Amino acid sequence: MSAPTRREFLARSAALGAAALLPRFALGQAAAPQAATAPATTLPPDMTIARWGGTEVPTDLPVKLVREALGALGGMGRFVQKQAVVWVKPNIGWNRKPEFAANTDPQVVGEIVRLCFEAGAKTVKVGDFTCNEARACYENSGIAPAARAAGAQIVYLDKSRFRDMTIGGRRLKEHPVYPEIVECDLVVNVPVCKHHGSTQVTLAMKNYMGVVENRGFFHQDLPTTIADITRFMKPRLSILDAVRVLTARGPTGGRLEDVKTFNTVAASVDIVALDAFGSELLGHDPAKIGTVAMGAEYELGRMDYRALQLKELQVA
């Protein structure tokens, strides 16, 4: 047999290389977070709601609420293993200042980062696939400075890094997802509770739109695609920031008149329950919210959050 031409050689090498890499890709997709195992002693609640019950609101109220909500849920140590790599996924979608409540409260994010480190995390990464230009969103939302101060690593999602992954959903069969998020040991979902023009509310499930590219596709059937990506992401811990809430003209907002202070933070292992609670906060029947209904239909959690092990706290 004659020696291969350069072209043949390159083609064969490429084929061999691709074959060698295939298992790695498959592994990458399977490396999603595992289900939480509850400690053996007392059964911690599935969901906690921390509300401010005092009179004068302290400036670090979000910090207090996060601490209380997480503490009652069994502490961050329930979710973060020693030396874990944690991705904190706030909503940093928009180039807006914190007071407009279009993004997650920076203090909430900062405190969650600190709790992760206290629980023994090795690395905490903070990042979101923003709608406006990333640097502007990260800085102006106050989230990057707050997370940096807490010791987190700020990650800008790189468009060329998204990788097609098998979602296997009803609408999403394959979709580009950010591998670095999927490969983390734990993803802490930290949405802000707010109004949304298309889905009426945007809460924890919809927050997963920040891990995918080509979101235009989602918009043709938001409830189903969001349920698809939520199931793919195997949520373990979601913390809802309802300190300042944008109640109209979301998701971008921009008018202070539309921002209400609810002074509430809720944390849950059940993402559907959390979204049902958030929907009620915004004055909706959860059953009429497409994403929540679809989440329940997918059996990702319970819409009736009051039937869970629920703990409500008055913080003062």
Question: DSSP code of 221?
Answer: S
- Tell me if 177 sits within 8 A of 41, measured CB to CB: no
In the complex, least distance from residue 262 CB atom to other proteins, rounded to whole angstroms:
20
Find the part of the chain contacting other proteins (CB under 8 A) among 33-41, 63-71, 160-168, 226-234. 160-168
Site for other proteins in 217-236 (CB under 8 A): 217, 219-221
From 32, 33, 84, 132, residue interacting with other proteins (rule: CB under 8 A): 132
Q: Which helix (H) or strand (E) holds 293?
A: helix 290-297
CB atoms within 10 A of CB 160: 6
Integer Cα distance of 58 and 61 in angstroms: 5
From 210, 253, 286, 301, residue interacting with other proteins (rule: CB under 8 A): 253
Instruction: Give how many residues touch other proteins by CB under 8 A.
Output: 36
Site for other proteins in 11-40 (CB under 8 A): 17, 21, 24
- Tell me if 47 sits within 8 A of 266, measured CB to CB: yes
**Which CB, 123 or 311, lies closer to other proteins?**
123
Site for other proteins in 73-102 (CB under 8 A): 94-96
Integer Cα distance of 131 and 183 in angstroms: 23
In the complex, least distance from residue 144 CB atom to other proteins, rounded to whole angstroms:
9
190 phi and psi, to 5 degrees? Answer: -125, 75
Instruction: Report the alpha-carbon angle 238-240-244, nearest 5.
Output: 160
In the complex, least distance from residue 47 CB atom to other proteins, rounded to whole angstroms:
28
**Which CB, 11 or 36, lies closer to other proteins?**
11
210 phi and psi, to 5 degrees? Answer: -80, 5
**Which CB, 114 or 196, lies closer to other proteins?**
196
**Which CB, 18 or 36, lies closer to other proteins?**
18
Q: For other proteins, what does the binding mask look like between residues 170 and 209, x meaning CB under 8 A?
A: --------------------------xxx-----------
**Which CB, 14 or 307, lies closer to other proteins?**
14
Site for other proteins in 273-292 (CB under 8 A): none
Residue 141: CB partners within 8 Å, gap ≥ 6?
92, 94, 95, 96, 97, 98, 102, 103, 104, 106
**Which CB, 144 or 190, lies closer to other proteins?**
144
From 10, 43, 118, 159, residue interacting with other proteins (rule: CB under 8 A): 159
Nearest to 237 by CA among 204, 206, 262, 264: 204
State the angle between helix axes of 290-297 and 271-281 in degrees (0 to 180), rounded to the nearest 10: 160
Integer Cα distance of 260 and 138 in angstroms: 23
Taking the alpha carbons at both ends of the chain, their separation in whole angstroms is 84
Judged by the rule CB under 8 A, the positions of this chain that interact with other proteins are 17, 21, 24, 94-96, 131-136, 138-140, 156, 158-161, 163, 196-198, 215-217, 219-221, 249, 251-255
